[in-house]
Structure 1
Amino acid sequence: MDAVGTPLSPGLAWHDPRGITEPILKELGDFEFRARAGALLNEIVTISKTLWLNENYPKSKKAKHFLSAPEWVAYCLGAEPVNELSLVSRTGFFDVEARKPWAEAIALVGGGNDFLARLVVAGEPIGIVNSQAPENLRGAVITIAGHDHFTAAYYSGAINEGSLFDSMGTAEALLRTFKAPLKREAIAELAAANVGLSCSVIADHYTLLGALPTGLTLERACSLLGVNSLEEKVALGSAALSIDPSASAMRVVNDYHGLSITNLDDAVSPAALFRATVEHLVEDSAEMISLMEKFTGKAQNVVIAGGWIKNPIIAFAKERQFGSYRVSNAQEAGATGAAEFAGIAAGKFKLRLN
């Protein structure tokens, strides 16, 4: 935005691939970026998207202030301009471990000392809905609830130290929350494995977020097998329980772009393919959790949310992986957690820390 709050470019979704990374690598360095921003240097982080916008929308070079999408909505409703800690942590403009703006990164996109606004924590009141909003919203307290996976973990009772939150949606999100800061070498090592560090939605805490394309890969496997409905997926999962993984050399390899199947043999079947997919995905999850535990210690309890945990083979595989776990009863944990933070801002609820 310019000095009076006028947008100078369109917004871009977090997964939009339009970004420029070369100046970041040249001026800041790969290790330094990972160690300070707590993220991989790629087209996903906001700083790379801002460089792309500067090149394609020249007016954006004159920007004085930055707001993420939720912060912009709140500003339009009547809030003061703010940057919520768990969201600004994922921009590349913020030194996460130090909990302060990263001046060198901000300067790279042409920003100054006031490029980031006042820093707030989730659930902090930041204004009252103005008279230009729909009538039924006017006078309501405004807050920013923070990152959706974090609010889901909060609502599910898994944002405290010692808990691992495993969200089994389209992406599998693995979260650990803690208070003691990590060394920069640890932050860089985690980021290299796509485990990002952010300030948490709980004041004075950090949250590690590891992401895997688990649900996306399961959906692709189901599509390949012609399995579409929830009932069909449950039946496929039940059939996969009877498969002996050692009876076949079949292997599945995946990333966000697709999956590959190798070593198809005489033991192949829809259930065998689904079992092989699940086995591979759980191995990936266990590897990422092992890296997180290297710096946070072993989790004392595990909470799982998301639709895929209701599939029989997923439930079986996760029990084998963790030993025991609790399933969150929330239908939409992220949205419900956000609503609870709104209630905290309005004085209706108190912050839960367990």
Structure 2
Amino acid sequence: MFPSNGAKVNMTGPLLVGLDVGTTSSKAVVVTADGREVARGRSRTPWVHTGDGVELDAVELAAAARSAVEQALAAAPPGPVAGLGVASMAESGVLLDRHGRPTAPVIAWHDRRDRVEVDELAAEIGGERFSAVTGLPLWGQWSLTKQRWLHRHRPTSAAAAVRRLNVAEWIVRDLGGDEGAEPSLASRTGWLQLASRTWWPETLGFSGITESLLPPLHAGGESWGRVRADEPVGRLAGATLTVAGHDHQSAAVGVGAAGIGDELDSCGTAEALVRTVAPGLPADAVAALTTGGITVGWHVLPDRWCLLGGTEGGLTLTRVLAMLGLDSGALAELDPRATALAGTPVEVATDDRGVVLRGIGDGVGPAQVWRAALERITAEAGVLHELMSRAAGPVAGLVAAGGWARSEALVAVKERVLGPVARPPVTEAGARGAALLAGLAAGVLTDLDELPPPAESLL
């Protein structure tokens, strides 16, 4: 399915840079035009904890993102940089004044300072109606309630803003690109109507803003302008810019799992299932998905929707290993023992306090506990997987990526429950997807359906 190490590599053509501005860090990769990763860089996302919650400074975030790119390019082979694509976490937004300067902190997407505003959204709009129009379950993650919080608690900062951008859009603008609203990121705001792909006046009003604060929709993978000539990271100057959308969807592109019916199982601390589907699911399907905690929104690729559901599977595995006095370095010995078991008497459960183990009797050891944890988190993912299939049709192919996808025992359980699982040789899927989308924007790559498949890194 994926090229071998012996595949011929083009090291003489233009280079593509992908940047994934994530919750924990900004990851940058440099890839060749045939999709081989040749350099990486990383920089911490500069969150701070305040009396209000978790937030960051937009200028500091741009500097951190630029640092990751600079590190990657410093380690990359010589050659022109044709394009830079930027994917990012969603929901968090940057407010800008008329001079393009940030007016307020960027609130973390997972911050819960907007609990009151979420309750008000339920009372004023209604959960079923909100979900039907936006494709989002009603809970405290989306941009609209945090914007209402800013309007209420930081009125001067909110009033000074003339533009609101998502994180990837802000980074592209800071590098010299155009302003726009990329559809996959816009789908996570609570302001975009799913069916019509237009802004919803009612939720804009709820947040205390008008449509003029938001830029026009602009597709990912198209040119968003060029890096300015005086860019401090000199090798970037003149490169074509693009927004590569929500990081989960860029990751699906990066591992070759973005065709209709494809599903990415992103196995990190939070496990995310990302299913690409044809647009236009019926209203009852959207209702079933959102009721089950799955979001429905526009994909970074054209003419596609994205279904996204998540669990805390990776966190559960980390906690179970810690309870056993182990870490991921023990998997080479623990995984085969867990796989060899016919079953396990142990039950792993989770609640607000953490992980709970039941059935610890005579003869139970780490292998039985580990097998139970793998069964538990796969069952949770299986519920989301089956709901997606009932609503949108069977999965065409399942690809696992992320740190926990390296567990042979976990993949064995997944294959028994979910079906065949491919594991491409990709380390930074979101950044690689962003680089490929930059290739499309720059004209280095010309066919969306013939993007370079995942290949072994040259690092």
Q: TM-score range by the shorter chain?
A: over 0.9
Q: Residue 107 of structure 2 aligns to which amino acid in structure 1?
A: L
Query: CA, structure 1 residues 305+67, in 2 after alignment: closer, same or farther (shift >3 Å)?
Result: same
Which residue matches 2:154? 57
Matched, 1:137 2:233: no
| Corresponding residue of 1:44 | 141
1:184 counterpart = 2:184: no
- In the alignment, structure 2 segments of 5+ residues that lack a partner are 1-95, 451-459
1:351 Cα offset (Å): 3.9
| Equivalent position of 2:302 in the other structure | 203
Structure with the bigger percentage of strand: 2
**1:312 match:** 408
After TM superposition, the structure 1 = structure 2 runs for residues 261-300 of structure 1, keeping only pairs within 5 Å, are 261-300=357-396
Mapped contact 1:79–1:128 kept (Cα < 8 A): yes
Give the distance between the partners of 2:419 and 2:168, measured in 1 at CA: 38
Shift of residue 339, structure 1, vs aligned partner: 0.9
The residue identity in structure 2 corresponding to 1:188 is A
Alignment of 1:83 onto 2:181:
yes
1:148 counterpart letter in structure 2: D
Greater RCO structure (CA 8 Å; 6+ sep)? 2
Distance 1:60 1:110 in 2: 13
* SS in structure 1 of the partner of residue 211 of structure 2: coil
- CA 1:300–1:74 in 2, change beyond 3 Å: closer, same or farther? closer
How does 1:159-238 map onto structure 2 within 5 Å?
159-230=258-329, 232-238=330-336
1:114 aligned residue = 212
Amino acid at match of 1:100: T
Show the counterpart of 2:46: none
How far off is 1:229 after superposition?
4.2
Shift of 1:278: 0.8
Is residue 123 of structure 1 aligned with residue 218 of structure 2? no
The answer to whether the 8 Å contact 1:64/1:112 transfers is: no
2:172 — aligned with what? 74
Give CA-to-partner distance per residue, 1:138-162, whole Å, 9 cap, x none: 2221110111111111122211112
Q: Offset at 1:11?
A: 0.3
Q: 1:182 to 1:79 in 2, by over 3 A?
A: same
Tell me whether 1:15 sits opposite 2:110 in the alignment.
Answer: yes
Q: Is the 8 A contact 1:61 1:110 kept in 2?
A: no
TM-score (norm 2): 0.72
CA contact (8 A) 1:305 1:327 kept: yes
* Alignment-derived partner of residue 449 in structure 2: 353
Secondary structure in 2 aligned to 1:82? coil
| Partner Cα separation in structure 2 for residue 326 and residue 53 of structure 1 | 44
- Name the CA shift for 1:61/1:27 in 2 (closer, same or farther; >3 Å): farther
For structure 1, which segment, 58-67 or 122-131, has the greater mean C-alpha deviation from structure 2 after superposition? 58-67
Counterpart for residue 337 of structure 2:
239
Shift of 1:183: 2.5
CA distance in 2, matches of 1:66, 1:315: 41
Alignment partner, residue 5 of structure 2 = none
The equivalent residue for 1:28 is: 125
Kept after mapping to 2: 8 A contact 1:36/1:184: no
Look up the SS of the partner of 1:66 in the other structure: strand
Question: Shift of residue 255 of structure 1?
Answer: 6.2
8 Å contact kept, 1:64–1:111: no
Q: Relative to structure 2, which stretch is displaced further, 187-196 or 55-64?
A: 55-64
TM superposition shift of 1:275: 0.8
The answer to whether the 8 Å contact 2:148/2:208 transfers is no
Partner SS, residue 80 of structure 1: coil
Shift of residue 8, structure 1, vs aligned partner: 2.2
| Local SS of the residue matching 2:384 | helix
* Corresponding residue for residue 100 of structure 2: 5
Distance in 2 (CA, whole Å) between partners of 1:115 and 1:335 is 29
For the residues of structure 1 that align with 2:221 and 2:98, how far apart are their CA atoms? 26
Of 108-117 and 126-135, deviating more is 126-135
Residue 208 of structure 1: SS of its match in structure 2?
A: strand
SS class of match (1:165): strand
What is the SS of the residue equivalent to 2:164? coil
Letter of the 2:195 partner, please give it: E
Q: RMSD value over aligned CA atoms?
A: 1.9
Partner of 1:331: 427
CA change 1:36–1:15 in 2 (3 A) is: same
